[in-house]
Amino acid sequence: MSLGTVRGYRELSDAGSKTAVLDARTRELIALAVAVTRYSKEVYVVLTINGGSSSVKFAVYQIGTSLKRVLSGTVDRIGSSGTTLSWQTTDGRSNEVRKEPQHDAQGAGRLIDWLEARPELAAVTAVGHRVVHGLSHTEPARITPGIVDELRRATPYAPDHLPREIELIEAFATRHPRLPQVACFDTSFHRDMPRVASLLPIPRRYQVKGIRRYGFHGLSYAYLLEELTRAAGATAARGRVIFAHLGNGASLAAVHEGTSIDTSMGFTPAAGLVMSTRSGDLDPGVVSFLAHTEQMTSRQFHDMVNHESGLLGVSEISSDMRDLLAREADDVRAAEAVGLFCYQTKKWVGAFTAALGGLDTLVFSAGIGERSAPIRARICEGLGFLGIELHDVRNAAHAPVISTDASRVTVRVIPTDEEQMIARSVSRLLGLDGHRTVRDA
């Protein structure tokens, strides 16, 4: 429900006070409008949108003395059969609705329709979007027509992500033109990487086209850095830290003095570590070989390395690490996929320890990193020479600290929350924590 709709029901309430009989739905809406009037004087509300290539995550946060999530959900399998919208509220209520396949524009509109019917949305002050690629942007930015034009021009840099993100931004702008929207760029966290870490070894003339290493998962890393500061203190957070964001998309980042000095992803999110369906780093000779032997086009190659490779490609079974762990004892393909993931992650930890000149803290996060004790153990196995020593019981329990007391490197598990980082960024940019009105700014 938009604020304009709520204002309409406030007017209806005034008129309704003179009417003896009102239907139940009208009375419910009037009560909601009165509650929203009282509620919106106390806190601001931010809606976060995290649009991926085939799904959209959303959340609603109240901004008071702290952030409070009141609603969260996901739209999965957009544009294909079995599209679902699932959500959960803070009181534990949850539901799931299965919908017919939607085109991107229809899907964005249907999502907004559903959100507007939720009472949590009645007092929304601003919308924050995760935008996968920010090019030269180093901080979150209020979305303007100029920003949208920049994102359109940047679409070739992230063709699987930016079109849907732009679609969502434009859908909200059309339906709620006075509602401030903020772009939170996933590349911004790596803005201060040393030049040597951002260069690609191709002819220099391509640098003017923006072909370089950018790095991604920046919202996750920014959140993890703030949480590490909260949990371990500023000294630990400003030390030599490796963050391992291990989920469907997987990457690592080397951070020193609170600044990213290197990361495994590069020009696109397909680079670096092997992932669920992405290849990670690949010999460029494979491109010409497949073009010559199989007449594979650039589009087909793009689809292969992004959607048919990684754990799925090696195992020929599943892109889900849980499935592979369950079958590795009986299927060599599953075992090789798991082994490749752990081996490559271990190599990145070693490489980034060298880049940092040592290691003080290793942080595991995201779906695999947070919930798979066997994978964490295999990655850390044999890294005692770096000062890493896991505590088996703590690791099995997914404790906040899973290293032994004697370990020179503190190994932590910190759940990530990109949606909360978006809400924090919106609040800071628009001054919502200071209760400044921004709707008419």
All CATH 3.30.420.40 domain ranges of the chain, comma separated, are: 232-418
Instruction: Check: pTM over 0.75? Answer yes or no.
Output: yes
Residue 190 pLDDT: 95
CB 247 within 8 A of CB 369: yes
Out of 160, 186, 262, 360, pick the active-site residue: 186
Question: Could you give the CA distance from residue 7 to residue 32 in angstroms, rounded to a whole number?
Answer: 11
Residue 21 pLDDT: 43
Cα–Cα separations (whole angstroms), residue 249 to 113, 234, 398: 29, 28, 21
- Mean pLDDT, rounded, of the chain: 84
pLDDT one-digit tens code per residue, 148-189: 999 999 898 888 888 888 988 998 898 889 999 999 999 999
Question: Could you give the CA distance from residue 198 to residue 228 in angstroms, rounded to a whole number?
Answer: 25
Question: Could you give the CA distance from residue 102 to residue 107 in angstroms, rounded to a whole number?
Answer: 5
CA angle at 125 for the pair 119 and 127, rounded to the nearest 5°: 95
The CATH number assigned to the domain with range 232-418 reads 3.30.420.40
Beta-strand runs (E) in 300-366: 361-365
CB 229 within 8 A of CB 237: yes
Question: Could you give the CA distance from residue 423 to residue 198 in angstroms, rounded to a whole number?
Answer: 28
State which residues of the chain have pLDDT below 50.
Answer: 1-22, 25-41, 100-105, 435-441
For residue 392, indicate whether it is catalytic. Answer: no
